[in-house]
Amino acid sequence: MNVAKNMSETEKEIMDYIWSLNEPISSGDLLIYFNSQGKDWKVQTLSTFLKRLVEKGLLQSSQQGRTYFYSPKINFKQYKSLQAKNFLNNMYNGSIKNFLSALYNEQIEKEDIDELKDWINKL
């Protein structure tokens, strides 16, 4: 699964809609939905986005007859967690301390420290 790659804005828009559903959706129904939202997509345009999302490990597809159905391979919470871990690893060598130091410019308020301590103690 290659979910380390970020989604484009359009891919995220597609995934947000699919994540909001509780069942697989056909490519035809996706096309109808997005075109009703002001897109002017052709079948090939949507197919390209869906193919990329499958390659990134975010969607899974199944075929019934000539119709393809798509459903999330991971949920949004899992995606956010993977993206946060990748960001931390890539930018701060996996160090939360280095991240917080950069975020707060080495000056963290006492309330923030107390909040972090409480959060860590609950883990």
Same domain, 66 and 82: no
Would you state the pLDDT for residue 116? 81
- Residue-by-residue DSSP string for 18-78: HHH-SS-EEHHHHHHHHHHTT----HHHHHHHHHHHHHTTSEEEEEETTEEEEEESS-HHH
What DSSP character marks residue 93?
T
* CA dist., res. 4 & res. 2, Å (int): 5
Would you state the pLDDT for residue 2? 54
State the total domains in the chain: 2
Note whether residue 3 is domain-resident: no
Determine what percent of the chain is predicted with pLDDT higher than 70.
Answer: 95
The CATH number of the domain holding residue 48 is: 1.10.10.10
Same domain, 81 and 68: no
Q: Which domain holds residue 67?
A: 9-72
Same domain, 46 and 59: yes
* CA dist., res. 84 & res. 92, Å (int): 11
The more confident residue out of 84 and 46 is 46
Average pLDDT over residues 34-43: 96
Q: Which residues contact 3 (CB under 8 A, 6 or more apart)?
A: 56, 57, 58, 74, 79, 82, 83
Same domain, 60 and 109: no
Name the band, by pLDDT with cuts 50, 70 and 90, for residue 97. Answer: confident
pLDDT higher than threshold 60 for residue 89: yes
